[in-house]
């Protein structure tokens, strides 16, 4: 017999070796010995009140064994001699597009401008220590894309765009912890993701696909409204039948290329702002009601999610990283961009989150109309160059104490930070455009009311958080092809069709299915 239960247990019960088993037996009014096993389907924490509760959804097996096999199976075929499909970009969209091609009997040929995960590390070190940005290999470009070294948060709202569970099972198949199948807010960790990404590449190669690193696409040869060849940076041309374009939200050269060819593009609304960084103990104290006390070891580093409407404009937290650190995410020299991530244990002493403001591409960017479909991109670039000059003309980031920013004062000194290239005190309150700076200042005040203790001089704000999503969308038809190029499939975040690892992976699968049909 199998019973599905919703269980709530407190910290004391959670600490007991058989706490969940005993609770299930109690709710079913049976002896614990009658339960042969429990399969956890979902786990979350309810910390709204001082009596913190753990919520479980479980299947209880009574006098029968718990099944060990997953319901998901991946039928990879040898595609060494199959019809090729070219995939540009090897981030989540490109990776899962390649895996799905193999399942459908087509040979993926992946072209990635950056390096593999191992060699990529040297370029990340160069950004952090030498302030030098390799424009093809950085926190955004390279094997696994921005997701590889950007935390590995897996929650998504795109539940209707594909099979979310299938992506999670695929990650587990390739080495991720099974815990991601259970947690309400699943997370792999920036220290564990590179191994998963490498395993995905090895699966693609094992079954006959190809992955080419340091292979930058510079042009498309188009004839009769079809891409007939791809031109590479080394001058080589590859004939092609179908192309999945999965280059990510930061591949500006691709947007410029398509615009130069007068192919349809559209400016897309997005969000920009700052990273705010608190000592993790402050966030723990607020969320777990334990100010001045150490967090219970059964509780993970606390997270938060905040949103406020300021003059009919959304101001909200984005990519919140408990126990994490802030990294330089620029893709070119002459710009400063920050992003956040957490290791798998989330055991860093700082918490950080993007706090960003909605930018409406139709109404807010009238000064940039001359750039047409690229107006939001140019606005984004302008703010990143401003951060570069105000930060010291290197990867040092401009920063301010949170309270000083809101009160309009230059910070005489700054708090400690996890950001390796370093911080420079700057008047961000006057440097930001009014629609961003004014909205942030009101937003931070509102957040301080919602989370008592969040608004504190012990927090820094660090700029600029600008790569929340693509500022350009590449249109596509119901068959997922570009309306003017019948064999080009815009895909993932770079096309404006995803917003994270999971949604990008699902869109990669959808585009592969369309290209293989």
Nearest to 90 by CA among 255, 257, 195, 245: 245
Last residue of a domain, one of 465, 482, 500: 465
- Decide if 57 is inside a domain: yes
- Can you give the residue range of the structural domain that contains 143? 84-264+474-516
pLDDT per position as a tens digit, 222-281: 999 999 999 999 999 999 999 999 999 999 999 999 999 999 999 999 999 999 999 999
DSSP symbols for 151-215: TTB---S-TTSS-HHHHHHHHHHTT--GGGGTBSS-B--TTTHHHHHHHHHHHHHHTT-EEESS-
237 and 170 part of one domain: yes
171 and 317 part of one domain: no
Q: Residues with Cβ < 8 Å from 484, sequence gap 6 or more?
A: 225, 263, 264
273 and 260 part of one domain: no
- Decide if 71 is inside a domain: no
- Decide if 481 is inside a domain: yes
217 and 359 part of one domain: no
pLDDT per position as a tens digit, 166-177: 999 999 999 999
13 and 154 part of one domain: no
**Angle at 427 (CA atoms; ends 340, 278), nearest 5 degrees:** 35
Share of the chain above pLDDT 90, in %: 93
**What's CA 96's distance to the chain center, in Å?**
15
172 and 234 part of one domain: yes
Domain count, the chain: 3
Cβ burial, residue 257 (10 Å; 0-12/13-18/19+): middle
Whether the pLDDT of residue 152 is over 70: the answer is no
Contact 337, 387 (CB under 8 A): yes
- Decide if 173 is inside a domain: yes
Distance CA 401, CA 423 (A): 11
- Decide if 72 is inside a domain: no
CB contact burial 162-198 (16+ within 10 A = b; e otherwise): bebebbbbbbbbbebbeebbbbebbbbbbebbbebbb
Nearest to 189 by CA among 348, 45, 345: 345
Helix (H, G, I), strand (E, B) or coil at 136: coil
Whether the pLDDT of residue 146 is over 90: the answer is no
- Decide if 73 is inside a domain: no
CATH number of domain containing 9 = 3.30.70.2700
- Decide if 79 is inside a domain: no
- Decide if 68 is inside a domain: no
Q: Residues with Cβ < 8 Å from 94, sequence gap 6 or more?
A: 87, 88, 110, 112, 145, 244, 246, 491, 492, 508
pLDDT per position as a tens digit, 103-125: 999 999 999 999 999 999 999 99
Q: Residues with Cβ < 8 Å from 312, sequence gap 6 or more?
A: none
190 and 297 part of one domain: no
Distance CA 462, CA 414 (A): 11
327 and 193 part of one domain: no
Long-range contacts of 198-205 (CB under 8 A, 24+ apart): 198/116, 198/117, 198/118, 198/143, 199/174, 199/175, 200/95, 200/99, 200/174, 201/90, 201/95, 201/116, 201/143, 203/76, 203/99, 203/102, 203/174, 204/95, 204/98, 204/99, 204/102, 204/108, 204/110
Share of the chain above pLDDT 70, in %: 98
Mean pLDDT, residues 462-481 taken together: 97
């Amino acid at each position: 017999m199998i019973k599905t239960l919703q269980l709530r247990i407190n910290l004391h019960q959670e600490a007991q070796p058989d706490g969940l088993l005993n609770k299930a037996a109690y709710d079913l009014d049976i002896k614990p010995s009658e339960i042969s096993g429990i399969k956890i389907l979902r786990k979350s924490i309810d910390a709204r009140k001082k009596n913190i509760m753990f919520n479980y959804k479980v299947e209880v097996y009574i006098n029968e064994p718990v099944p060990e096999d997953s319901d998901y199976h991946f039928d990879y075929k040898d595609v060494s001699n199959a019809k090729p499909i070219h995939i540009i970009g090897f981030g989540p969209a490109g990776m899962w597009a390649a895996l799905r091609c193999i399942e459908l009997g087509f040979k993926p040929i992946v072209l990635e401008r950056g390096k593999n995960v191992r060699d990529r590390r040297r370029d990340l070190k160069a950004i952090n220590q030498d302030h030098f940005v390799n424009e093809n290999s950085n926190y955004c470009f390279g094997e696994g894309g921005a997701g590889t070294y950007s935390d590995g948060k897996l929650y998504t709202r795109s539940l209707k765009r594909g099979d979310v569970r299938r992506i999670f099972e695929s990650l587990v198949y390739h080495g991720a912890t099974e815990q991601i199948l259970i947690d309400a807010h699943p997370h792999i960790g920036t220290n564990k993701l590179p191994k998963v990404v490498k395993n995905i590449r090895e699966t693609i190669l094992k079954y006959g696909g190809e992955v080419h690193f340091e292979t930058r696409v510079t042009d498309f040869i188009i004839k009769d409204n079809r891409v007939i060849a791809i031109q590479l940076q080394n001058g080589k041309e590859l004939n092609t039948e179908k192309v999945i374009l999965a280059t990510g939200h930061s591949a500006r050269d691709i947007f410029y290329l398509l615009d130069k060819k007068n192919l349809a593009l559209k400016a897309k609304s997005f969000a920009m702002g700052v990273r705010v960084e608190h000592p993790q103990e402050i966030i723990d104290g607020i969320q777990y009601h334990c100010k001045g006390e150490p967090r219970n070891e059964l509780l993970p580093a606390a997270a938060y999610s905040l949103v406020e409407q300021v003059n009919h404009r959304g101001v909200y937290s984005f990519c919140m990283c408990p126990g994490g650190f802030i990294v330089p995410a620029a893709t070119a020299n002459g710009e400063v961009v920050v992003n956040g991530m957490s290791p798998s244990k989330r055991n860093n002493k700082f918490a950080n989150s993007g706090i960003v403001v909605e930018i409406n591409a139709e109404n807010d960017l009238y000064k940039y109309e001359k750039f047409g479909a690229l107006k939001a991109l140019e606005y984004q670039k302008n703010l990143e160059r401003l951060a570069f000059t105000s930060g010291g003309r290197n990867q040092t980031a401009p920063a301010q104490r949170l309270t000083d920013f809101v009160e309009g004062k230059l910070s005489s000194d700054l708090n400690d930070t996890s950001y390796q290239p370093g911080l420079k005190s700057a008047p961000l309150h006057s440097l930001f455009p009014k629609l961003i700076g004014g909205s942030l200042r009101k937003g931070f005040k509102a957040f301080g009311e919602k989370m008592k203790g969040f608004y504190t001089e012990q927090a820094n704000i660090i700029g600029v958080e600008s790569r929340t999503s693509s500022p350009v969308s590449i249109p596509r038809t119901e068959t997922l092809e570009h309306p003017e190029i019948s064999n080009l499939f815009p895909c993932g975040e770079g096309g404006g069709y995803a917003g994270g690892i999971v949604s990008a992976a699902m869109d990669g699968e959808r585009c592969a299915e369309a290209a293989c049909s």
